[in-house]
Amino acid sequence: MPEATNRAIKRAAGAVVYRYEGAAPLILLIHDQYGRWTLPKGHLKPGESEAAAASREVLEETAIAGELGPLVGRIDYTISKNGVPRPKEVAFFLLCATSSQATPQADEGIAAAEWFSPDAALELVGYPQVREVLARALALLRDT
């Protein structure tokens, strides 16, 4: 049995952060430590719910607070730490921002936090699974 399956799943949570400018939504993306645009996310603290972690991580990484909405989806992948593979699962929620002023937190590894149109955000996201989550979130926003 591969070692990755013997190790506990590393759990994380994040959000598709949006706000409206007129009738059109804008999506918040962060530029991460790997040089890619993505959604804010981070690890769950012991005993913390996914929803609480998603709100906390958005606030820590971007200084944006908001109203947490429904779960959009989950992604899973394998990370490697010190050459040891470990499965990771990330839950993403919708989060309606209460302000437009995003402040990237360099100490969290965030180089930029900017608002984009849905089409631009979909094009910029540097991870295929995250792009799929964003597409699902945009469909939810269109249906509301």
Helix (H, G, I), strand (E, B) or coil at 52: helix
Measure the CA–CA gap between 66 and 62, rounded to whole angstroms.
11
Confidence of residue 4 (pLDDT cuts 50, 70, 90): very low
Measure the CA–CA gap between 127 and 9, rounded to whole angstroms.
20
Amino acid at site 39: L
The strand pair at 84-97 and 37-38 is best described as: unpaired
Identify the CATH homologous superfamily for domain 3-143. Nucleoside Triphosphate Pyrophosphohydrolase (3.90.79.10)
The percent of residues above 70 in pLDDT, for the chain, comes to 94
Give the pLDDT confidence score for residue 83 in this predicted structure: 87
CB 26 within 8 A of CB 113: no
Helix (H, G, I), strand (E, B) or coil at 122: helix
User: What does the pLDDT average to over 82-88?
Assistant: 89
Is the pLDDT assigned to residue 85 strictly greater than 50? yes
- 51-90 residues labelled b (16+ CB within 10 A) or e (exposed): bebbbebbeebbebebebbeebbebeeeeeeeeeebbbeb
Q: What is the mean pLDDT of the chain?
A: 92
How do residues 68-82 score in pLDDT, each as one tens digit? 999 999 999 998 888
Is the pLDDT assigned to residue 144 strictly greater than 80? no
Its pTM stands at 0.91
